Structure 1
Protein backbone atom coordinates (compact mmCIF):
# COMPACT_ATOMS: atom_id res chain seq x y z
CA UNK A 1 0.00 0.00 0.00
CA UNK A 2 1.28 3.44 -0.92
CA UNK A 3 2.14 5.96 1.78
CA UNK A 4 -0.25 8.79 2.52
CA UNK A 5 0.78 12.12 1.03
CA UNK A 6 -0.30 15.71 1.79
CA UNK A 7 -3.52 16.62 -0.03
CA UNK A 8 -1.72 19.56 -1.65
CA UNK A 9 0.19 17.03 -3.79
CA UNK A 10 -2.90 15.12 -5.00
CA UNK A 11 -3.83 15.16 -8.70
CA UNK A 12 -6.63 17.58 -9.53
CA UNK A 13 -7.29 16.25 -13.05
CA UNK A 14 -10.39 14.24 -12.09
CA UNK A 15 -8.44 11.09 -11.27
CA UNK A 16 -9.88 8.88 -8.55
CA UNK A 17 -7.69 8.74 -5.44
CA UNK A 18 -8.18 7.53 -1.89
CA UNK A 19 -8.54 10.43 0.53
CA UNK A 20 -8.59 10.68 4.31
CA UNK A 21 -10.95 13.20 5.89
CA UNK A 22 -12.49 13.93 9.27
CA UNK A 23 -16.28 14.03 9.64
CA UNK A 24 -18.33 16.24 11.95
CA UNK A 25 -17.90 13.73 14.79
CA UNK A 26 -14.10 13.80 14.48
CA UNK A 27 -13.93 10.33 12.93
CA UNK A 28 -11.31 9.89 10.22
CA UNK A 29 -12.78 8.36 7.07
CA UNK A 30 -11.11 6.76 4.05
CA UNK A 31 -12.89 6.94 0.71
CA UNK A 32 -12.31 7.20 -3.02
CA UNK A 33 -12.79 10.76 -4.24
CA UNK A 34 -12.31 13.00 -7.27
CA UNK A 35 -11.32 16.66 -7.44
CA UNK A 36 -13.85 18.63 -9.48
CA UNK A 37 -15.83 21.86 -9.31
CA UNK A 38 -13.25 23.34 -6.95
CA UNK A 39 -13.25 20.60 -4.32
CA UNK A 40 -12.98 16.93 -3.37
CA UNK A 41 -16.15 14.86 -3.83
CA UNK A 42 -16.88 11.35 -2.57
CA UNK A 43 -19.92 9.08 -2.48
CA UNK A 44 -21.26 8.59 1.04
CA UNK A 45 -23.80 6.02 -0.20
CA UNK A 46 -24.75 4.61 -3.59
CA UNK A 47 -26.49 7.79 -4.78
CA UNK A 48 -25.27 10.65 -2.56
CA UNK A 49 -22.08 12.63 -3.07
CA UNK A 50 -20.51 14.88 -0.46
CA UNK A 51 -17.81 17.52 -0.71
CA UNK A 52 -15.07 16.73 1.82
CA UNK A 53 -11.94 18.46 3.09
CA UNK A 54 -9.28 15.73 3.06
CA UNK A 55 -5.97 16.04 4.88
CA UNK A 56 -4.07 13.39 2.93
CA UNK A 57 -4.32 11.01 -0.01
CA UNK A 58 -2.82 7.97 -1.72
CA UNK A 59 -3.40 6.40 -5.14
CA UNK A 60 -6.68 4.50 -5.31
CA UNK A 61 -6.53 0.73 -5.65
CA UNK A 62 -7.13 -0.36 -9.22
CA UNK A 63 -10.60 -1.62 -9.97
CA UNK A 64 -10.91 -4.00 -12.92
CA UNK A 65 -14.71 -3.53 -13.04
CA UNK A 66 -14.49 0.03 -14.48
Structure 2
Protein backbone atom coordinates (compact mmCIF):
# COMPACT_ATOMS: atom_id res chain seq x y z
CA UNK A 1 0.00 0.00 0.00
CA UNK A 2 2.91 2.32 -0.69
CA UNK A 3 1.86 3.54 -4.12
CA UNK A 4 3.50 0.69 -6.02
CA UNK A 5 1.63 -0.62 -9.02
CA UNK A 6 0.35 -4.21 -8.92
CA UNK A 7 -1.94 -6.31 -11.08
CA UNK A 8 -5.43 -6.57 -9.55
CA UNK A 9 -8.78 -8.11 -10.44
CA UNK A 10 -11.92 -6.05 -9.84
CA UNK A 11 -15.59 -6.22 -10.79
CA UNK A 12 -17.35 -3.30 -12.50
CA UNK A 13 -20.95 -2.11 -12.04
CA UNK A 14 -22.13 -4.51 -14.79
CA UNK A 15 -20.65 -7.51 -12.98
CA UNK A 16 -17.80 -7.83 -15.51
CA UNK A 17 -14.53 -9.04 -13.96
CA UNK A 18 -11.53 -6.96 -15.07
CA UNK A 19 -7.77 -7.33 -14.65
CA UNK A 20 -5.72 -4.14 -14.55
CA UNK A 21 -2.62 -2.56 -13.13
CA UNK A 22 -3.78 -0.79 -9.97
CA UNK A 23 -2.17 1.55 -7.49
CA UNK A 24 -3.11 2.11 -3.86
CA UNK A 25 -3.19 5.80 -3.01
CA UNK A 26 -3.37 6.90 0.60
CA UNK A 27 -5.02 10.19 1.53
CA UNK A 28 -1.63 11.55 2.65
CA UNK A 29 -0.04 10.65 -0.69
CA UNK A 30 -2.84 12.34 -2.68
CA UNK A 31 -2.79 15.49 -0.57
CA UNK A 32 0.93 15.91 -1.32
CA UNK A 33 0.06 16.20 -5.03
CA UNK A 34 -2.43 19.02 -4.38
CA UNK A 35 -6.15 19.09 -4.93
CA UNK A 36 -9.16 18.68 -2.68
CA UNK A 37 -9.06 15.08 -1.40
CA UNK A 38 -11.04 13.49 1.44
CA UNK A 39 -11.09 10.11 3.21
CA UNK A 40 -13.35 8.52 0.58
CA UNK A 41 -10.71 9.11 -2.13
CA UNK A 42 -8.09 6.82 -0.53
CA UNK A 43 -7.94 3.34 -2.06
CA UNK A 44 -7.12 1.39 -5.22
CA UNK A 45 -7.15 3.26 -8.54
CA UNK A 46 -6.93 1.95 -12.13
CA UNK A 47 -6.95 3.52 -15.58
CA UNK A 48 -10.10 2.45 -17.43
CA UNK A 49 -8.85 4.10 -20.64
CA UNK A 50 -5.92 6.28 -21.66
CA UNK A 51 -7.02 9.29 -19.61
CA UNK A 52 -9.72 8.15 -17.17
CA UNK A 53 -9.00 6.78 -13.71
CA UNK A 54 -11.47 5.02 -11.46
CA UNK A 55 -11.39 3.97 -7.81
CA UNK A 56 -12.10 0.22 -7.50
CA UNK A 57 -12.38 -2.50 -4.86
CA UNK A 58 -10.02 -5.34 -5.84
CA UNK A 59 -11.13 -8.93 -5.36
CA UNK A 60 -7.68 -10.41 -6.11
CA UNK A 61 -4.11 -9.14 -6.06
CA UNK A 62 -1.74 -10.91 -8.48
CA UNK A 63 1.94 -11.10 -7.65
CA UNK A 64 4.59 -11.58 -10.30
CA UNK A 65 6.28 -14.23 -8.16
CA UNK A 66 4.51 -17.17 -9.83
CA UNK A 67 6.82 -17.17 -12.81
CA UNK A 68 5.02 -14.40 -14.69
Do both share a fold (TM > 0.5)? Answer: yes
What's the counterpart of residue 27 of structure 1? Answer: 16
2:4 maps to which of 4, 11, 15: 15
Unaligned runs of 5+ in 2: 27-41
TM-score, scaled relative to structure 1? 0.69
Alignment length, in residue pairs? 49
Q: Name which one, 1 or 2, has greater alpha-carbon Rg.
A: 2
Unaligned runs of 5+ in 1: 1-11, 61-66
What's the counterpart of residue 58 of structure 1? Answer: 62
RMSD: 1.1
- Following TM superposition, the consecutive aligned residue runs of length 4 or more in structure 1 with deviations greater than 2 angstroms are none
**Following the alignment from structure 1 to structure 2, what is the Cα–Cα distance between the partners of residues 58 and 30?**
9
**C-alpha offsets along residues 5-53 of structure 1, whole Å, 9 cap, x if unaligned?**
xxxxxxx000100010011111100000100032000000111100001
- Secondary structure at 2:58's aligned position in 1? coil
